[in-house]
Structure 1
Amino acid sequence: MTKRIEIEFKSSVEIMNTPMKKRRFIVDEMIYPGLHVLSGDPKIGKSWMMMDMCLAIAKGEKFLGRKTDQGHVVYMALEDTSDNLQTRMYELTDEPTDNLQYVLLVNTLGNGLEDDLRKCKETFSDLKLIVIDTLQKVRETVDMKYGSDYKDVSTLKSIADELGIAIILVHHNRKQQDSNPNNMILGTNGIPGAADGLLVLTHKSDSKNAVLNISGRGAPSLDINVIRDGAKWKLLDKPPEDKPDNFPSVIHDFMLERKEFRGSASELCELLCKKFPSEEFKNNWMYRELLQHDEEVHSLGISYGKTKSNGTRSICVRYEADRDSSGSKLLYPESGAPAVPETSSNADISSQTDTPSASDVKTIAVPVGDKLIEWAANRITEKLAEQGIEVEPFQP
Structure 2
Amino acid sequence: MNTQTLLQSWLPAAGLAQAQKSVDWLLVDLIEAGDQWIVSGPPKSGKSMFALSMALKISKGERFIGYECPTPKTVLYFDLELKDRVFWSRALRMVNNDFKDLCEDRNLVRPTGLGAMDIFHADDVDKINTAVNMVKPDLIIWDVLSRLHRCEENDNGAMKKVLQRIRELSEKSAHIIVHHSRKNNVYGNADAQSMRGAGSIHGEVDGAITLTPKGTDTCNMSISARAIPAQKDRLLEWDESLNIVLPKAIPENDLTAILDRCLIQGEKLSSGELSVCIQNMVGCEDRQAKRIIAEARRLKLITGSKVGRRVYYEITKSQNT
Normalised by the length of structure 2, the TM-score is: 0.64
Flag the structure with larger Rg. Answer: 1
Which amino acid in the other structure matches residue 85 of structure 2?
Answer: D
CA distance in 2, matches of 1:137, 1:207: 26
Residue 157 of structure 1 is matched in structure 2 by 167
- Pair 1:80-2:82 in alignment: yes
Which amino acid in the other structure matches residue 214 of structure 1?
Answer: I
Residue 46 of structure 1 is matched in structure 2 by 47
- Pair 1:123-2:122 in alignment: no
CA distance in 2, matches of 1:43, 1:64: 20
What does 1:202-351 correspond to in 2, within 5 Å? 202-204=212-214, 208-222=217-231, 223-230=233-240, 231-236=242-247
Q: Which 5+ residue runs of structure 1 have no aligned equivalent?
A: 1-7, 239-396
How far off is 1:11 after superposition?
A: 3.4
1:157–1:194: 8 Å Cα contact kept in structure 2?
Answer: no
CA distance in 2, matches of 1:209, 1:180: 14
Q: Deviations over 1:205-224 (max 9, x none)?
A: x7853221112122333222
1:76–1:133: 8 Å Cα contact kept in structure 2?
Answer: yes
CA distance in 1, matches of 2:208, 2:29: 12
- Pair 1:27-2:61 in alignment: no
CA distance in 2, matches of 1:220, 1:237: 25
Residue 328 of structure 1 is matched in structure 2 by none
What does 1:172-191 correspond to in 2, within 5 Å? 172-175=180-183, 177=185, 181-191=191-201
What does 1:61-140 correspond to in 2, within 5 Å? 61-68=62-69, 69-93=71-95, 94=98, 95-96=101-102, 97-103=105-111, 104-105=113-114, 107-112=117-122, 113-125=124-136, 127-140=137-150
Compare relative contact order (CA 8 Å, sep 6+) and give the higher one, 1 or 2.
Answer: 2
Q: Which 5+ residue runs of structure 2 have no aligned equivalent?
A: 1-5, 250-321
Task: State, as a whole percentage, how many aligned pairs show the same letter.
Answer: 24
CA distance in 2, matches of 1:17, 1:34: 20
Q: Give the aligned CA root-mean-square deviation in angstroms.
A: 2.5
CA distance in 1, matches of 2:90, 2:16: 49
CA distance in 2, matches of 1:173, 1:89: 24
What does 1:366-381 correspond to in 2, within 5 Å? none
CA distance in 2, matches of 1:22, 1:215: 23
Of residues 166, 172, 188, the one that matches 2:174 is 166
Residue 13 of structure 1 is matched in structure 2 by 12
Instruction: Tell me the number of residue pairs that the alignment of Structure 1 and Structure 2 aligns.
Output: 227
Normalised by the length of structure 1, the TM-score is: 0.52
2:190–2:222: 8 Å Cα contact kept in structure 1?
Answer: no
2:160–2:200: 8 Å Cα contact kept in structure 1?
Answer: yes
